[in-house]
Structure formats: C-alpha cells, structure tokens
Structure 1
Amino acid sequence: MPKITVLPNEKICPEGREIEIERGENLCRRLLDNGIEIEHACDLSGACTTCHVIVKKGFDSLTEMDDIEADLLDRAWGLNPYSRLSCQVNVQEEALEIEIPKYTVNYVSEKKG
C-alpha cells in the first residue's frame, strides 16, 4: 500500500503527516478523509486550483495530466514543474511526498472557524 508523506504546512498540517492510501484512490479525497483540510473550492470537480500540491517525490509514477488540469494550474500560486491538482491525482504504486503551498487563489477560505 503506497504512503503519502505530507510535508509540514503552517495552517493545514503543521507537524506534517504520513498516511496510507490504496492504489487508484484520489489524493485530495484521501487527504480530507484523514483530517488534512486542503482547500477544494470546486468540490473536487477539477474546476479551480485550490487543491494544488507540489509532488516532491513520486511525480513520475502519476498518470499524465490532461489539458484542462494543465490550463488550470497556470493560475495556481507557487506553480512549479511538479505541481498537480490533488483532486485529479489517483495514486499509483509509488509512495508520494507532497507539499501543500502556503497560499491558494482563493481569497476567502471555505473553512469555518
């Protein structure tokens, strides 16, 4: 079973975290199911960039992104060559290490509290 290592993020996951994930599971959904409250303003429909992550390790194991994801990522804060929308990533066999950027394009967080 692959593991996802989430690097520390000041607001979302200050201590960092490691979670297990089944092959084929959606990365964003699994983060949310494990209490890692990554933003997802479009409710995982692939229509925004708020669930943007940077895949530090394991990027090449992922399926290629489609043109829509690539176009959306052009608007993401902190974009780099290893950026993906977590709602569009279905984890394969390899473990991943991800960084959740400090900012999103969302001016107002959907998170309550």
Structure 2
Amino acid sequence: MPIIKILPHAEYCPQGAEISAPAGTSICEALLDNKINIEHACDMSCACTTCHVIVREGYQSLNDAEEEEEDLLDRAWGLEPQSRLSCQAILAQKDVTVEIPKYSLNHAKENH
C-alpha cells in the first residue's frame, strides 16, 4: 500500500502525518479515513476546491486530472503546477507527499 506523507498544517494535521491507503483510493478518502478532516464541501463530487492539495512528491504516479478538475483548480487558493483536488487524485502504487494549503475558498465551513 502506498504511503501518504502529509506536511504539517496548523488546523488539520499540526505535527504532519504518514498514513497508508490502498491503491485506487482518492487522497481525500485516505485523509478522512485516517481522521485528517480536510474540507470537502461538495462531498467529493468535484464541484468545489475545498479539498485542494499540493502534491510535493509522487505527482506523476497519480491519475491524470480531468478537464472538470483543471477548470475548478483555476479557482483554488494558492494554486501551483502540482495542485490537485484530493477527491479526484487517485493513488497508484507509489508514495506521495502532500501539502494542504493554508486557506481554502469555502465561504461557509461545515463540520463533516
């Protein structure tokens, strides 16, 4: 199983973390399954940008982004070339390192 290394984030993962998840799992699902409560206002339906992550290592091992995801990413805070919506980024067999941006563009944060 691939390992996801999450860089420290003041709210979601202050110490950083390393978790494992089966290949074929989205990064968002893996985070939520491991009690890292990343925002996902659209319930992982690729309709917002609240689950935006920056893939610092292992980007090429993920599935390709679809056009709908790329269009949404244009609205994400802190967009970088290796940005993905974690609900759409599917793990393969390689380890990845992700950073959760400091902010998201969620106007009404919910407790999922």
- Report the Cα distance in structure 2 between the residues aligned to 1:108 and 1:67, rounded to whole angstroms: 26
- Report the Cα distance in structure 1 between the residues aligned to 2:90 and 2:74, rounded to whole angstroms: 21
Q: Please, what TM-score do these two structures have when normalized by structure 1?
A: 0.96
The residue number in structure 2 matching 1:49 is 49
The residue number in structure 1 matching 2:14 is 14
The residue number in structure 1 matching 2:101 is 101
Q: Which amino acid aligns with 1:18?
A: E
Q: Which structure 1 residue ranges, 5 or more long, are not aligned?
A: none
What are the superposed Cα offsets for residues 15-62 of structure 1, whole Å, 9 maximum, x if unpaired?
000001111112101100100010000000010000000000000111
Alignment of 1:27-66 (within 5 A): 27-66=27-66
Partner-residue secondary structure (3-state), 2:37: coil
Q: Percent identity?
A: 54
How many residues matched? 112
- Report the Cα distance in structure 1 between the residues aligned to 2:9 and 2:107, rounded to whole angstroms: 18
- Report the Cα distance in structure 1 between the residues aligned to 2:60 and 2:26, rounded to whole angstroms: 17
What are the superposed Cα offsets for residues 66-98 of structure 1, whole Å, 9 maximum, x if unpaired?
100000000000000000000001100110000
Provide the aligned C-alpha RMSD in A. Answer: 1.0
